[in-house]
């Protein structure tokens, strides 16, 4: 889900001209930096999920309505990115929206793995599509952050559907197509 979220955003940005690819390194030039980033970001992604969602869920998950928990968790996720708070409303809005998206699977499954995996592979996909592959933002088009926000909104019901299916599979129910 994380790769899809960031991948769909990237492909959409390319297709409508919001971003262009400046340089694509060879496969051998990609492997080492991607592997190192993938390994390192695993720990930062999951520690952030434990802090901004898991810890809160352990203390408030059953004591507050799910909607309040999701809002609280998303707010703390946004504030955890204090270094990004001056980057404008687009960045703050997508960070809050991402916090909502990442809290939903935790609330529905009562497990952090789906959220953590989505967060980790999403960060890795973003790194691959914006740091390994060099891109340029085209200012005369729809901003990539707005495209990301819209993609997050589309992914919320998809994430709810997938999380419910996971919850159903975990409880021993049969999943039918």
Determine the Cα–Cα distance for residues 42 and 20; give it in Å rounded to an integer.
28
How much is the pLDDT for 139? 87
Query: pLDDT of the chain along its 177 residues, tens only?
Result: 999 999 999 999 999 999 999 999 999 999 999 999 999 999 999 999 998 899 999 988 788 999 999 999 999 999 999 998 899 999 999 999 999 999 999 999 999 999 999 999 999 999 999 999 999 999 888 899 999 999 999 999 999 999 998 877 765 544 443
How crowded is residue 111: how many other Cβ atoms within 10 Å of its Cβ?
A: 16
Number of Cβ within a 10 Å radius of residue 130? 16
Query: What is the pLDDT at residue 175?
Result: 40
List C-alpha distances in Å: 118 to 21, 101, 103, 105, 125. Answer: 25, 10, 11, 10, 10
Q: Which residues lie below 8 Å from residue 54, measured CB to CB, with a gap of 6+?
A: 106, 112
Residue 84: domain span: 2-13+29-168
Contact criterion met (CB below 8 Å) for 142 and 72: no
Q: Into how many domains does the chain fold?
A: 1
Domain assignment present for 176:
no
Question: What does DSSP assign to residue 20?
Answer: E
Sign (positive or negative) of CA dihedral 101, 131, 84, 14: negative
Residue 19: inside a domain: no
Assess if residue 177 is contained within a domain: no
pTM here is: 0.86
Q: Report yes or no on 21 lying in a domain.
A: no
Whether residue 174 is contained in a domain is answered as no
Residue 73 maps to a domain: yes
Whether residue 117 lies inside any domain: the answer is yes
């Amino acid at each position: 889900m994380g790769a899809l979220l960031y991948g769909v955003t990237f492909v959409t940005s390319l297709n409508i001209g919001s971003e262009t690819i400046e340089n694509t390194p060879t496969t051998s030039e990609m492997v080492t930096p991607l592997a190192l980033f993938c390994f390192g970001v695993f720990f930062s992604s999951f520690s952030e999920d434990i802090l901004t969602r898991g810890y809160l869920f352990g203390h408030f998950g059953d004591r507050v309505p799910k909607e309040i928990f999701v809002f609280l968790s998303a707010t703390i996720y946004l504030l955890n990115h204090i270094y990004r708070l001056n980057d404008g409303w687009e960045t703050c809005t997508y960070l809050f929206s991402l916090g909502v998206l990442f809290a939903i699977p935790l609330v529905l499954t009562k497990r952090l793995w789906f959220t953590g995996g989505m967060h980790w592979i999403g960060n890795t996909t973003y790194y691959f599509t914006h740091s390994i592959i060099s891109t340029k933002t085209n200012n005369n088009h729809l901003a990539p952050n707005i495209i990301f926000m819209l993609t997050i909104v589309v992914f919320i019901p998809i994430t709810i559907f997938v999380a419910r299916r996971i919850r159903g599979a975990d409880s021993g129910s049969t999943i039918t197509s």
